[in-house]
């Protein structure tokens, strides 16, 4: 995975403290990939995004570069308003860059039609949100199954996939519980299972630990990183919390529209 900074910039409460369960630059400055390295699940080159605010032009992304390989987890930090969520929306096919190349899961997002983008989001992207977005009237297993229903028609055989996803986050025993019966950390683990069950090549997480205490946040990120690595999913998460950086493969700060290595 590589992201290249400007040359002038320095380079819907988890009580457990351990998780014993098994978990099934600019272009000229970018490092050369080895010949045997897997093709990136995410490849962004020269992405630019601006917004108009009255008579001013706000440059949110400036010639941004980012590669994320299958199985890698990348954290992006930055204060509010720096463009972190805009970048996630572009990677998820919810917004468009004005310039540059954005290829995610093998799809050229700038060239894709509206219908192709809708299919791309359903099949190739899994989202994890700060507020879990669990449906309170559904059980844990039904909430996880909803992750498959967004992508395709489900079958009875999908029950095994749901239980495998719950087992991977240590919540198999909570399959018939309802979200309100779970702690915040457990609810976020359900949200991770819902993302994993799709077996999407890319997982995008928007402040996934924003409502959790620091110890729980580190456990949740370690879980997500390990589960995604085992399933060869590329993960990009945005966060304000520098304490989780030790858990991820690479970390960058979004600053003046470019990614700067932490």
Q: Average pLDDT for residues 216-244, to the nearest whole number?
A: 88
pLDDT at 27: 36
Tell me the DSSP string of 163-225.
Answer: HHHHHHTT-GGGTT--GGGS-HHHHHHHHHHHHHHTT-SEEEEESTTTTS-HHHHHHHHHHHH
Distance CA 28, CA 176 (A): 53
Name the nearest CA neighbour of 139 among 172, 101, 177. Answer: 177
Residue 193 belongs to a domain: yes
pLDDT at 151: 67
Stretch (H or E) spanning 262: none
Counting residues of the chain whose pLDDT is more than 70, the rounded percentage is 84
* In the predicted structure, residue 22 carries a pLDDT above the cut 60: no
> Residue 260 pairs with which residues in a beta bridge?
253
pLDDT band, residue 163 (cuts 50/70/90): very high
* In the predicted structure, residue 18 carries a pLDDT above the cut 70: no
pLDDT at 92: 96
Residue 39 belongs to a domain: no
Residue 100 belongs to a domain: no
Q: Which two tokens stand for residue 189?
A: 């683990």
* In the predicted structure, residue 101 carries a pLDDT above the cut 50: yes
Range of the domain at 218: 69-94+118-261
Give the number of domains in the chain: 1
Residue 110 belongs to a domain: no
pLDDT digits (tens, 9 = 90+) for 27-79: 333 433 433 456 899 999 999 999 988 888 889 999 999 999 999 999 999 88
Residue 3 belongs to a domain: no
Distance CA 86, CA 68 (A): 17
pLDDT at 176: 97
Residue 113 belongs to a domain: no
Q: Across the chain, what does the average pLDDT equal?
A: 84
CATH number at residue 166: 3.40.50.300
Name the nearest CA neighbour of 237 among 214, 203, 192. Answer: 203
Q: What is the DSSP letter of 32?
A: P
Residue 218 belongs to a domain: yes
* In the predicted structure, residue 20 carries a pLDDT above the cut 90: no
């Amino acid at each position: 995975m590589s992201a290249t900074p400007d040359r002038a910039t320095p380079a819907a409460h988890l009580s457990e403290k351990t998780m014993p369960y098994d978990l099934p630059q600019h272009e000229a400055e970018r490092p050369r990939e080895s010949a045997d390295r897997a093709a990136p699940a995410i490849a962004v080159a020269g992405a630019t995004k601006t917004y108009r605010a009255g008579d001013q032009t706000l440059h949110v992304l400036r010639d941004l570069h980012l590669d994320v390989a299958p199985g890698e987890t990348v954290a992006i930090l930055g204060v509010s308003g720096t463009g972190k969520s805009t970048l996630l929306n572009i990677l998820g096919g919810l917004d468009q860059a004005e310039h540059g190349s954005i290829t995610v899961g093998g799809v050229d997002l700038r060239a894709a039609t509206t219908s192709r983008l809708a299919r791309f989001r359903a099949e190739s992207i899994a989202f994890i949100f700060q507020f879990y977005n669990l449906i309170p009237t559904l059980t844990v297993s039904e909430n996880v199954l909803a992750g498959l229903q967004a992508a395709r028609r489900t079958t009875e055989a999908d029950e095994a996939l749901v239980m495998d996803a719950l087992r991977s986050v240590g919540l198999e025993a909570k399959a018939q519980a309802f979200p309100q019966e779970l702690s915040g950390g457990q609810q976020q683990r359900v949200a991770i299972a819902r993302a994993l069950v799709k077996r999407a090549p890319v997982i995008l997480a928007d402040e996934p630990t924003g409502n959790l205490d620091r110890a729980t946040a580190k456990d949740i990120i370690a879980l997500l990183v390990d589960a995604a690595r085992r399933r060869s999913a590329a993960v990009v998460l945005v966060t304000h919390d520098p304490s989780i950086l030790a858990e991820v493969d690479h970390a960058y700060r979004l600053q003046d529209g470019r990614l700067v290595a932490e």
